[in-house]
Amino acid sequence: MKAQIALFSAALGLCSPTFAHTLNTPTFASQFYYDGLIMTLDGKGYFGQQWIENATDVTLFPKNGNTALWTLTLTNALGQPVVGAPVEISAAPLTLTAPQWREPNDMAARFSRSVRTKILTRIEQGLFRLKAPFEVSSPVTDARGQITVSIRNFHSCGNDSLPGSDRFIARVGSLQQTLKVKCAVTGLVPIPDAPAQGLTTAGLVGRHLHPNLLAALQNLGRAWHAQPDKPAGMPDHLTITGATMRWGGINPPHFTHKFGGTIDIRPLGTQSGPISVGDAAYDRQATQSLVDALIQLGATQIIFADNLTGVTQVKANHKNHLHVSFLSEPLEPWDHHDSDLDDEGLHWHNYDGIYDTRYFIPTVNQLKLNADLFNLKQQK
C-alpha cells in the first residue's frame, strides 16, 4: 500500500522539491461537449454540437436524447497526465431546490390523482427527470489522465428568476472542479396584460411563450379589439389562461405547455370573465371565428369541448378553454405506449430520436388582416 501511495505521489509530482516550491497541487482541465438542441436568446434554435473549454456554466434543453459529456483531465506540474487517480464525482440541486420540484412524491402530488402513478413510474424509469442523471466512465483517470462524465437533461426548469440547476463537483483530494448544469428553454418572453390592446391573461402560473408566438397572438388580439359589431357584452380582448413556465420544462398540472409553443385560450361569449360551452352566454359562431384565425396562424392542434370546424380533438373537460399548440406533434417527452394517455387524451412520447426543431419551436404564420377575419354574423 505504501508503495502504491509513493507511486501516485510521484505521478502528481509531490516528491519533486521544485514542484513543492512552485505548484503545490496538480491541475484540472475540462472540456464540455454537447450534442442536442441549442437555443439562442432570440428564441431561434438548431440541432448541433458545442465544445466549451473549462466550462463552469452550461444549459441543457429539456429534451430527452441530448448528449452532454464533461471530460476532466488531471495533470501534474510538468503537464504530464496523472494516471490512476481516484476522482469523486457528485451532483446536487443548486437552484429550484424545493421538494415539489425535486422529490418524486411531491412532484406527483401536483398532478391529478388519475395520473400520479404514471408520473412516479416515469420518474423511476428515468424518462421524467427531476435532477440531471449522470454516469462516470471510470472511478480513476485513464492513461491520458482523464475521466468522462455523461450528463443527461432533466425537466425541472421552473418559474423562478433563475432556472433549475444542478451543481456537479469533481474532487481529487483537496482539488476540485465545478460545473453548473441548468435546465432551460431560453428565449421565452412574458405575456403582458394589455386588454386595451386586445390580449390579456387570467389565472396563469407560467406566463411565458416563444416570442414569435406571442407577437402573433398580440396581432390577433389587436385585430379582435378592432373588430366592429361585436354582440353586446362580448369583451374587446382575448384571454390566455395557460402558457409555459419561465424556463420551460415540466409545468404541473399540465402535461404539455413545456416549450413555449402551446396556449390555453378562453372561448368567446357575451360576457366578460370565464365562459364555458353550454353557458347561455357562450357564442359558438364567435368562437368558431377564433378557431379559424388560430388555424390561419398555424395551429397544429386544437382541443375543445365543442366540435367546431378545425378542432382536432373533442374533449369534454375542455369546456372553458381551447388548448392550442403550434408545435409539430405536440406530445410529451416521456415514453410512448398506446395504452398511456394523459387527462387530455394525449400520448406519452419519447423524443430521443427526433431532430426536427418544429417539435420544440413553434412555427407561426403571418395573420392576414381583412374584413372577413372574424365572421360574427352567422347564426349560433
Segments in the chain forming alpha helices (H): 2-12, 17-22, 99-102, 104-108, 116-125, 211-226, 284-297
**pLDDT of 218 higher than 80:** yes
The better pLDDT of the pair 177, 128 is held by 177
Write out the residue range of the structural domain in which residue 117 sits: 26-183
- Asked if residue 215 and residue 126 are part of one domain, the reply reads no
Question: Could you give the percent of the chain with pLDDT greater than 90?
Answer: 70
- Asked if residue 96 and residue 237 are part of one domain, the reply reads no
Decide if 305 is inside a domain: yes
Contact in structure between 179 and 168 (CB atoms under 8 Å): yes
- Asked if residue 196 and residue 75 are part of one domain, the reply reads no
Decide if 19 is inside a domain: no
Kindly indicate the confidence band of residue 352, based on its pLDDT and cuts at 50, 70 and 90.
low
Alpha-carbon torsion (264, 269, 274, 279), positive or negative:
negative
Q: Is 104 left (phi over 0), alpha (psi -120 to 50) or beta?
A: alpha
Decide if 9 is inside a domain: no
Decide if 369 is inside a domain: no
Kindly indicate the confidence band of residue 341, based on its pLDDT and cuts at 50, 70 and 90.
low
CA distance 130 to 39: 21
Read off the DSSP letter of residue 269: B
Read off the DSSP letter of residue 232: T
- Asked if residue 258 and residue 179 are part of one domain, the reply reads no
Q: What is the mean pLDDT of residues 30-38?
A: 93
Decide if 234 is inside a domain: yes
State the CATH number of the domain containing residue 90: 2.60.40.10
- Asked if residue 164 and residue 294 are part of one domain, the reply reads no
Decide if 272 is inside a domain: yes
State the CATH number of the domain containing residue 346: 3.30.1380.10
- Asked if residue 318 and residue 200 are part of one domain, the reply reads yes
The better pLDDT of the pair 288, 20 is held by 288
Closest CA to 62 of 109, 96, 86: 96
Residue where one domain finishes, among candidates 124, 150, 183: 183
Residue where one domain finishes, among candidates 153, 183, 213: 183
- Asked if residue 35 and residue 51 are part of one domain, the reply reads yes
**pLDDT of 3 higher than 90:** no
Contact in structure between 166 and 153 (CB atoms under 8 Å): no
- Asked if residue 113 and residue 259 are part of one domain, the reply reads no
- Asked if residue 174 and residue 40 are part of one domain, the reply reads yes
Bridge partners (DSSP) listed for residue 325 = 262, 301
**pLDDT of 232 higher than 70:** yes
Decide if 255 is inside a domain: yes
Q: Kindly report the number of other CB atoms within 10 A of residue 193's CB atom.
A: 16
Report residue 244 as a C-alpha cell.
409555459
Kindly indicate the confidence band of residue 353, based on its pLDDT and cuts at 50, 70 and 90.
low
Q: Is 15 left (phi over 0), alpha (psi -120 to 50) or beta?
A: alpha
Contact in structure between 53 and 27 (CB atoms under 8 Å): no
**pLDDT of 330 higher than 80:** no
- Asked if residue 168 and residue 236 are part of one domain, the reply reads no
**pLDDT of 185 higher than 80:** yes
Q: What is the mean pLDDT of residues 204-214?
A: 95
* pLDDT for 67: 81
Closest CA to 244 of 314, 303, 326: 326
Closest CA to 260 of 330, 362, 363, 164: 362
CA angle 218, 224, 228 (to 5 degrees): 150
- Asked if residue 203 and residue 287 are part of one domain, the reply reads yes
Measured torsion, CA atoms of residues 270, 275, 279, 285, in degrees rounded to the nearest 10: 60
Q: What is the mean pLDDT of residues 210-215?
A: 96
Closest CA to 248 of 113, 96, 123: 96
Report residue 99 as a C-alpha cell.
421538494
Amino acid in position 215? A
Question: Could you give the percent of the chain with pLDDT greater than 70?
Answer: 85
pLDDT tens by residue, 47-79:
999 999 999 999 999 988 888 999 999 999 899
Q: Kindly report the number of other CB atoms within 10 A of residue 356's CB atom.
A: 11
Residues 6+ apart with CB under 8 A from 344: 255, 256, 303, 315, 317, 318, 323
Residue where one domain finishes, among candidates 158, 183, 208: 183
Decide if 299 is inside a domain: yes
Mean pLDDT score across all residues of the chain = 87
Least confident interval from 6-20, 270-284, 297-311: 6-20
For residue 253, say if its preceding peptide bond is cis, omega within 30 degrees of 0. yes
Q: What is the count of structural domains for the chain?
A: 2
Please tell me whether residue 45 adopts helix, strand or coil conformation: strand
pLDDT tens by residue, 125-164:
888 899 999 999 999 999 999 999 999 999 999 999 999 9
- pTM for the full model? 0.85
- Asked if residue 164 and residue 203 are part of one domain, the reply reads no
